Structures are given as C-alpha cells and as structure tokens.
Amino acid sequence: MQKEFRHPCKARLWVSVLLIQSTLTYFAYCAYPASSESVQASPLSAPLAPANTTINSNTTPLSDKESAQGQAPFCKKPIYLTFDTGHMEVAPLISDVLRKNNVRVTYFAAQERTKTGDGSLGDTWASWWRREAQLGNTFASHTYDHVYWSSDLPGNRFLFKPSSGPLKGQTLNWGANEYCDELKKSNQRLKEITGIEPLPLFRAPGGKVSTQLLNAAKSCGFEHVDWAAAGFLGDELSSKDFSNAFLLSKALKGIQTGDILMAHLGIWSRQDPWAPTDLEPLITGLKERGFCFESLTRHPRFKDWISLHPKSY
C-alpha cells in the first residue's frame, strides 16, 4: 500500500478521483431516486393493497391522468352484478363471498319482509348496509314497499300492487308524483342508513314497467335498470326444476360482455338457496373467462345519467 502512495502527486491525484466519484454518486442519487422496487415505502405513502387482494389481469394499466384522478383500471370485458333485496338470511354470506373475491355490486333495496328483524331496510339490518357501503358497493331504489306495476291508466296514472308494507296486496291507483315519492323513499332510507348518496337509478319489482311508467320515473330523476337475458341468474326459480348446477352452467355459458346480472338477497320460495352455493363458482368462472366486475357507475348506458343527476330525492 505504501508503494502506491509514495509519490506525492500520485497520492493527490488518487484522492481527487475518489472525491469526484463520491460527488457524482451523490448527484445521481438525489437527481434520480431509486425505483420503487428498491426503496422502502415512506410512512407517508399510500398503504399497499392487502396481500390477499385479487388483481384481475384483464385490465388496462392506469394512465398518469387516471392515476391522478383515482380512477379504477379500464375493464376490457365488463359485466355488472346486481342484487335485489329479499328475506336477507343469505345476505351476510353473499357479502363474504363478494369481499373475498374483490367484487363490488349494486344493491336495489326495498323494505321487504325478512326472516329476522324488522325488514330489509329496518334497524336490524342497518349495520349490514353500512358495512356494504364501507366496502365500496353502491345502492339504488327498488321502491320502498316493493310495489309492482300492474297497468297504465289515462292521465298519467297507474295501477300498482305492493307486496310489502301496510298496503300489501291492495290495488293502488297512483299518479306519477306518488310513484316518484315511493322511489325516493327507498333512497332516503338508504342515505339515512349508509351516509352515502344512492344512485339515481331504480329497478321495478319483477322488472315490470311500461313506457309511461319509465317516463314518469325519469321526470323525477330515476333511470330504470333491467338485466340481460343471460344475466337472469335464476335464483327465484324452483330448485326442483332448476338445480343450482344447471343454473351455474347456464350462466357461465351464456353471459356476455356488458351484461347486467341479477340475483336476490334471499328468495322465500326456493328450497335449495342459490347463494352462496353458486355465487363463488360463478364469479371465479367468469373471471377465468376474462370478465371483470364493474360498477353501474361506469356502465355506458347509465354513467352520464348518474353524473347529471347526483341526487334523486
């Protein structure tokens, strides 16, 4: 070592080289930080996704603009899963499957009779709705007393028959304003329970509507959401005639990109419940076919309507 530095000029040159290298290294580090793969996350940075989060490979990476706006990745083969209220016994099981598979849905809610508690929108189930809101699901009206449309009448009036509530089973002669009040009542209750704004959408019980009824609903800020033929998941059919295995196979073969899917939070008449037996294999099977589950807020038919009608009551 002493032989290398015995000449004073060489020693000074060697020290100068070391100083220059140190300066360049410092400059490179400050000007061009290491990639995120090699730098430990700062305590102030956004938290990482949970280890068990499912990431769908059938999505396009976010652009810089989308990342800045906090938008979800673009979905190449979107489908839209929705649930109408029912007796609610299977609701916690459905929620667990959805959360496990990282799927968000839209619930269409009415105050229906339940196996336990004071109705699907009653206080007994309020904590369940709040949890669903916290998980990122969305909500819309299914009429408050699950009111079926029967027929149109002159003067923009209609005949209805509710299947729930104090007027259950009665034939009601309502005008457009009364029907609008019925739609709004569900959304008001949902907002009261969850603290978030429901969507300006509705689903008529049984999907029964007329052009006159749809126009009446639009006049007070509600757009109707039906479902695709293949998206009818069959949970309200007789389990004797339509087994869960049959319904699952039919759905996996028939569902196409853009379809809206519909099931219920419990059906009184079905002996062999469709959910959760069919729900998880349906989700995993559709994901294997390249589909991804999107919110109705991004549906091409509804997204503009939703942005133009931020409050529907």
With 50 as the cut, is the pLDDT of residue 53 above it? no
Q: Which helix (H) or strand (E) holds 84?
A: strand 78-84
Q: Does any domain span residue 8?
A: no
Neighbours of 50 (CB within 10 A): 8
229 occurs within a structural domain: yes
Asked if residue 65 belongs to a domain, the reply is no
Q: What is the pTM of this model?
A: 0.77
Number of domains into which the chain is organized: 1
Inside any domain, residue 55 = no
pLDDT class of 18 with cuts at 50, 70, 90: very low
Q: Which amino acid is at 257?
A: T
138: closest CA among 81, 90, 92?
A: 81
One-letter amino acid at 19 equals L
Residue 142 lies in a domain: yes
Using CA atoms, how far apart are residues 230 and 241, in angstroms rounded to an integer? 18
Phi, psi of 240 (to 5 degrees): -70, -40
Tokens 């006049």 correspond to: 219
| Domain of residue 120, CATH code | 3.20.20.370
148 burial type by CB count under 10 A (0-12 exposed, 13-18 middle, 19+ buried):
middle
Question: Is residue 49 situated within a structural domain?
Answer: no
Least confident among 31-35, 75-79, 258-262: 31-35
What's 216's DSSP letter?
A: H
Asked if residue 304 is part of any domain, the answer here is yes
Q: Where in the sequence is the domain holding 214, given as residue range(s)?
A: 71-308
Residue of 4 and 116 predicted with greater confidence: 116
HSE-CB for 153 with a 13 A CA cutoff? 12
pLDDT band at 312 (very low <50, low <70, confident <90, very high): low
In a domain, 12, yes or no: no
pLDDT tens for 195-252 read: 999 999 999 999 999 999 999 999 999 999 999 999 999 999 999 999 999 999 999 9
Region 290-310 average pLDDT = 95
Omega prior to 276 cis, within 30 of 0: yes
